[in-house]
Structure 1
């Protein structure tokens, strides 16, 4: 599986941070088509998070074109998707927890 991940990573030739965030955005783009309701809202929030990270770090990058390269790369499939999902949730899950705590405190105008 690690050779598969290296092959997908090597396709764009971007800095590692951009590549990692693009792959999280790719995972979330696929996931968005599989969920509804509150789960979809969470997926959209995660996608916005990674989109913003990429945009702020590399504003000249054509995110859509790079995303297409990843999603249509030979070898991008369920194993790569699952690996990206696991890696991205290591970042996202603690943020979601902190955000939910923050939102619970301030959402009601308290």
Structure 2
């Protein structure tokens, strides 16, 4: 599974669990760490954990695997290392504080409209 397919699975899984403000940044030309950052937030730590679980389940259902998860289920920020995709699931306030979109402002934003249900 390539990083584009993986990113689509991640976005759809996050949307299924009602993640807020899902953004995908193409960092492939800016960093060797990954091709994409997927950034989202949730309104409670319970929802953060549910989103992470759903993403992991959908990746595994499609034959992939999650390399590493940093943070615990009740954390305000959980980072998932999924091959060439890094997923950040924040509690609302934490996302505002760290503002990764500003830090990676040179990255191109990927249009996810076709993956997210209205």
Could you say which structure has the larger radius of gyration? 1
Which TM-score band (shorter chain)?
0.3 to 0.5
Higher RCO by CA contacts (8 Å cutoff, separation 6 or greater): 1
Normalised to the residue count of structure 1, the TM-score between the two structures is: 0.33
More helix by share: 1
